[in-house]
Amino acid sequence: MEEWMLSVDGSSNQQGSGAGVVLEGPKSLLIEQALRFAFKASNNQVEYEALIVGMLLAKEMGARSLLAKSDSQLVTGQVAGEYQAKDPQMAAYLRYVQVLKGAFVAFELVHVPREQR
C-alpha cells in the first residue's frame, strides 16, 4: 500500500481567507489546489477547511494510506486528541475529520512548524 502525502496551509486576514492543498501520490502524481473562501474564517478554521478538502481529494483519488502535514499546532493537537475542541465550530470540524479518517486504512496528521516547510 503506497503512502500518499498531503500538505495543507491556510491563512486569514482582513482581505479574506484562503488555503493551499498539495497532494502527492504514487508515480510522481502531484495535485495542487488553491482555495479562496467567501466567508469570514479564523486561521484555524481555514486550516481545518484545507485539511478536509485535502482528505476528500485523497479519498477521491483512491488513497488508502495518508500522511498529512499542517503547521497549525491547534488543529494537529485536536486531531491527535492532545487538545480539546471547546469552540463549537472547531468541534464540528474535528468531528468531520474523525469521520473522514475512516476512509483510510492508515492516517496520520503531523505538525510541521512553518519555518520547516
Could you give the CA distance from residue 34 to residue 10 in angstroms, rounded to a whole number?
10
Asked whether the predicted pLDDT for residue 74 surpasses 70, the reply is: yes
Band of residue 14 on the pLDDT scale cut at 50, 70, 90: confident
Residues 60, 46, 79, 29, Cα dihedral to 10°: 30
For domain 3-116, give the CATH number: 3.30.420.10
Band of residue 117 on the pLDDT scale cut at 50, 70, 90: low
Give me the mean pLDDT over the 61-84 stretch. 96
Annotated domain spans of the chain = 3-116
Band of residue 38 on the pLDDT scale cut at 50, 70, 90: confident
HEC per residue, the chain: CCEEEEEEEEEEECCEEEEEEEEECCCCCEEEEEEEECCCCCHHHHHHHHHHHHHHHHHHCCCCEEEEEECCHHHHHHHHCCCCCCCHHHHHHHHHHHHHHCCCCEEEEEECCHHHC
